Structure 1
Amino acid sequence: MNLPPVHIENMDIKLALGGFILNVLYVKYGYFHSSMREHSHSHGSYELHYIPCGQGILVADGVRYPLTPGTLFMTGPGVVHEQIPDHNDPMAEYCIFFEVLPGDFQLAATNYNSLKDNLLPELLVNTPFWIGLDNENMMTLFEMLADELSSKRLGFHHMVTNILEMIVTRMIRQYTGDCSSPHDIPTKTLDDCRLLTIENSFLYEYSSLTLRQLADKLGLSTRQTERTVQKQYGVPFREKKQQSRMSAAAHLLATTDMTINAIAARIGFSTPEQFSHAFKQYYGITATQYRSQKK
Structure 2
Amino acid sequence: MNLPPIDIEDMDIKLNLDHLVLNVLYVKFGYFHQTMPKHSHSHGSYELHYIPSGKGLLIADGQHYSLTPGTLFVTGPEVEHEQIPDETDPMAEYCVFFEVVFGPLQLQPNHRDLSREGLLSEWLLNTPFWIGPDQENMMSLFEMLAREVSLKHIGYHQMATNILELIVTRSIRHYHQGPNVLNAPVKTLNDSRLVIIENTFLYNYQSITLKQLADKIGLSTRQTERTVQKQYGMSFQDKKWQARMGAAAQLLLTTDLTIRDVANAAGFSTPERFSHSFKKYYNQSPSKYRSEHRVNDLK
Q: TM-score, normalised by structure 2?
A: 0.89
CA contact (8 A) 1:56 1:67 kept: yes
Task: Tell me whether 1:79 sits opposite 2:65 in the alignment.
Answer: no
CA contact (8 A) 1:18 1:117 kept: no
2:228 aligned partner = 229
Distance in 1 (CA, whole Å) between partners of 2:61 and 2:30 is 24
Secondary structure class of the residue paired with 2:34: coil
The C-alpha deviation readout for 1:15-42, integer Å capped at 9, x for no partner, is 1111111000000011111111111000
Q: For residues 145-156 of structure 1, what are the structure 2 equivalents within 5 Å?
A: 145-156=145-156
Structure 1 residue 43: deviation in Å? 0.2
1:184 aligned partner = none
Q: For residues 155-234 of structure 1, what are the structure 2 equivalents within 5 Å?
A: 155-176=155-176, 190-234=189-233
1:275 aligned partner = 274
The C-alpha deviation readout for 1:210-255, integer Å capped at 9, x for no partner, is 1111111122221211111111101111111000001111111111
2:97 aligned partner = 97
Secondary structure class of the residue paired with 2:38: strand
Distance in 1 (CA, whole Å) between partners of 2:132 and 2:269 is 43
CA contact (8 A) 2:7 2:26 kept: yes
Q: For residues 1-295 of structure 1, what are the structure 2 equivalents within 5 Å?
A: 1-105=1-105, 119-176=119-176, 190-293=189-292, 294=294
CA contact (8 A) 2:247 2:266 kept: yes
Distance in 2 (CA, whole Å) between partners of 1:218 and 1:285 is 36
1:180 aligned partner = none
Secondary structure class of the residue paired with 2:10: coil
Structure 1 residue 190: deviation in Å? 3.7
The C-alpha deviation readout for 1:162-219, integer Å capped at 9, x for no partner, is 0000000111111159xxxxxxxxx996421111111011001000101111111122
Q: Which runs of 5+ in 1 are unaligned?
A: 107-114, 178-186
Q: Give the paired residue count.
A: 278
CA contact (8 A) 1:18 1:105 kept: no
Structure 1 residues 116 and 149: alpha-carbon distance in aligned structure 2, compared to 1, 3 A threshold: farther
The C-alpha deviation readout for 1:119-154, integer Å capped at 9, x for no partner, is 011111111111111111111101101111111111
The AA in structure 1 aligned to 2:72 is L
Secondary structure class of the residue paired with 1:11: strand
Distance in 2 (CA, whole Å) between partners of 1:240 and 1:283 is 15
Structure 1 residues 2 and 116: alpha-carbon distance in aligned structure 2, compared to 1, 3 A threshold: farther
CA contact (8 A) 1:26 1:96 kept: yes
CA contact (8 A) 2:120 2:176 kept: no
Distance in 2 (CA, whole Å) between partners of 1:140 and 1:189 is 30
The C-alpha deviation readout for 1:239-286, integer Å capped at 9, x for no partner, is 110000011111111111222112212211122211111111111111
Secondary structure class of the residue paired with 1:58: strand
Distance in 2 (CA, whole Å) between partners of 1:117 and 1:13 is 26
Q: TM-score, normalised by structure 1?
A: 0.90
Secondary structure class of the residue paired with 1:97: strand
1:183 aligned partner = none
The AA in structure 1 aligned to 2:208 is L
Structure 1 residues 176 and 165: alpha-carbon distance in aligned structure 2, compared to 1, 3 A threshold: closer
The AA in structure 1 aligned to 2:81 is H
Structure 1 residue 105: deviation in Å? 4.7
Distance in 2 (CA, whole Å) between partners of 1:105 and 1:221 is 31
The RMSD of aligned alpha carbons is: 2.0
